[in-house]
Amino acid sequence: MTHTLKKQCAVVALAVAAAFGAAQDVAAQSGEIFMPVLVYRTGAYAPNGIPWADGYVDYIKLVNERDGGVNGIKLSFEECETGYATDRGVECYERLKSKKPVLVNPLSTGITYALTEKVAADKIALFTTGYGRADSADGSVFAWNFPLLGTYWSAADMLVQHVAKKGSLKGKKIALVYHDSPYGKEPIRLLEEHAKKHGFEFIKLPVTHPGVEQKATWLQVRQQRPDYVFLWGWGVMNSTSIKEAIAVSYPRLQMYGVWWSSAEPDVLPAEAAGKGYNGIALGHSDERDFPIHKDMVKFLYEKGKGTAKSKDEVGSVLYNRGMISAMLSVEAIKKAQEKHGKRVVTGEEVRWGAENLNIDAAKVKALGFGDMVQPLKTSCRDHEGVRRGRIHTWDGKDWSYTSDWIEADDKFLRPLVEASAKAYAAEKKITPRDCSKEK
């Protein structure tokens, strides 16, 4: 009875094997550096996923178009739709793996968790620019993970510092309204530590995927009246939260989103009522007038090669984030080429490049990013590079900065990161590298 199953397997197997065999050959011959792009352009998170993907892809296109590739080596890429589902993300990774990618940017904390082990085995660098698992900042255990530009723990730390400046937190209440997934749960451990340190009450309010059903959550907010609400949402959940906050008349000024919760698609649906809502901007907000944006318009959009629907999207918060993610990936490739020669580098070499990044303010400026990216320096010990951000506030039309630079407290964070990484290493039987011996 089971033989049709085998027959089907065989047919599909042959088809797939043939297709992938062919694809692999093409990539190997072309002499290009391949970058898979895991995106979600459909589903509940699409409004946020699309600008990120456009920014990421546009930057790759720009490097090819304007500079003729990285040191003369063209970049090739292929998008794969994950729909923010971890299993589809893993499938995408496996699918694109045969094309010898040097790095992967999974754009989901869940997929990051699932890939963490796989990338180490496959020797592919895992870039999680501004997201991913916080403990992977410890490069001695997580050799292949690069949570560049800050983790959720850094973000939570910055937010606590910011609100602590407004007055002692002792006896106050902070609620975390979070997406009930690894992404949303990531800051919990840090906030619990902070609650102990500062003496505030920490309230956890989970919201299940996709996040449109939040009535119960906000009734709790109304009941408990927290002094601050931190919002760890994504996609349609954010705008719903803001609307629900309006419904229970919770002041938007006391709401702070993480960077995924403070972009245009989140506040626009709430219209003017979203006014006063804050978010932590990780280096950048919706800056639009730097040379890189002009280059995007000049080299891509004026020639009809842009990925986004219109050039108005260039410079929006998430577009910038996608662009910066791609920029850091490309810089890691460049760094690898510095050491290993201007050729098609391997994942292992790119990993080294990412671990030895040193991008100062002048370099950021030279790349055309103005001051959108803070100076960043990675090492074996620190895969995060930089942990600085500013608060930006939505005025109903635009984002504007409303705080000075805040730097996450590494003295407070580092022991937590190391403890968590150590636990992971013990669980996985990984021997941490001795960072003093790394060149």
Q: Should residue 86 be labelled a site residue for another protein when binding is judged by CB under 8 A?
A: yes
Q: Should residue 242 be labelled a site residue for another protein when binding is judged by CB under 8 A?
A: no
Rounded distance, CA 44 to CA 391, Å? 26
Q: In the sheet that 103-104 helps form, which strands lie side by side, from edge to edge? A: 103-104, 125-127, 145-146
Q: Should residue 98 be labelled a site residue for another protein when binding is judged by CB under 8 A?
A: yes
Distance of CA 193 to the CA centre of its chain: 23
Find tokens 């698992």 and name the residue.
Answer: 133
User: CB of 121 within 8 A of CB of 142?
Assistant: no
Q: Should residue 309 be labelled a site residue for another protein when binding is judged by CB under 8 A?
A: no
User: CB of 176 within 8 A of CB of 217?
Assistant: no
Q: Which residues in the 48-77 window bind another protein by CB under 8 A?
A: 50, 53
Q: Should residue 182 be labelled a site residue for another protein when binding is judged by CB under 8 A?
A: yes
Q: Which residues, listed in sequence order, are joined to residue 38 by a DSSP beta bridge?
A: 80
Nearest of 3, 5, 1 to residue 13 by alpha carbon: 5
Q: Should residue 123 be labelled a site residue for another protein when binding is judged by CB under 8 A?
A: no
Q: Apex CA 301: angle with CA 295 and CA 303, to 5°? A: 100
Nearest of 79, 73, 141 to residue 104 by alpha carbon: 79
Q: How many CB atoms lie within 10 A of CB 142?
A: 25
Distance of CA 101 to the CA centre of its chain: 19
Candidates 180, 201, 295, 348: give the one binding another protein (CB under 8 A). 180
Candidates 161, 206, 222, 402: give the one binding another protein (CB under 8 A). 206
Instruction: Phi first, then psi: give them for residue 129, nearest 5 degrees.
Output: -70, 100
Rounded distance, CA 230 to CA 429, Å? 35
Candidates 67, 71, 74, 79: give the one binding another protein (CB under 8 A). 79
Q: Should residue 433 be labelled a site residue for another protein when binding is judged by CB under 8 A?
A: no
Cβ closest to another protein, residue 112 vs residue 337: 112
Nearest of 185, 190, 240 to residue 218 by alpha carbon: 240
Q: Should residue 25 be labelled a site residue for another protein when binding is judged by CB under 8 A?
A: no
Candidates 47, 55, 83, 233: give the one binding another protein (CB under 8 A). 83
Sole window of 2-10, 232-240, 274-282, 346-354 interacting with another protein (rule: CB under 8 A): 2-10
Rounded distance, CA 127 to CA 432, Å? 20
Q: How many CB atoms lie within 10 A of CB 283?
A: 24
Size of the site for another protein (CB under 8 A): 60
Candidates 28, 68, 87, 253: give the one binding another protein (CB under 8 A). 87
Q: Should residue 363 be labelled a site residue for another protein when binding is judged by CB under 8 A?
A: no
Candidates 60, 107, 188, 280: give the one binding another protein (CB under 8 A). 188
Candidates 32, 35, 59, 81: give the one binding another protein (CB under 8 A). 81
- Contact letters for another protein, residues 391-430 (x by CB under 8 A): -----------------------------x---x--xxx-
Ramachandran sector of residue 315 (left: φ over 0; alpha: ψ -120 to 50; beta: rest): left
Rounded distance, CA 357 to CA 378, Å? 5
Provide the token pair at 279.
């978010």
Candidates 66, 74, 97, 172: give the one binding another protein (CB under 8 A). 97
Cβ closest to another protein, residue 81 vs residue 266: 81
Rounded distance, CA 183 to CA 233, Å? 9
Sole window of 79-87, 275-283, 284-292, 367-375 interacting with another protein (rule: CB under 8 A): 79-87
Contacts of 293 (CB under 8 A, 6+ apart): 287, 314, 315
Candidates 186, 287, 313, 384: give the one binding another protein (CB under 8 A). 186
Beta carbon of residue 140, minimum distance to another protein (angstroms, whole number): 18
Candidates 172, 189, 311, 334: give the one binding another protein (CB under 8 A). 189
Sole window of 17-25, 195-203, 221-229, 310-318 interacting with another protein (rule: CB under 8 A): 17-25
User: CB of 348 within 8 A of CB of 103?
Assistant: no
Sole window of 88-96, 274-282, 362-370, 389-397 interacting with another protein (rule: CB under 8 A): 88-96
The site for another protein (CB under 8 A) is made up of: 1-10, 12-17, 19-21, 39, 41-42, 46, 50, 53, 79-81, 83, 86-87, 90-91, 94-95, 97-98, 109-110, 113-114, 116-118, 121, 133, 180-182, 185-186, 188-189, 206, 209, 420, 424, 427-429
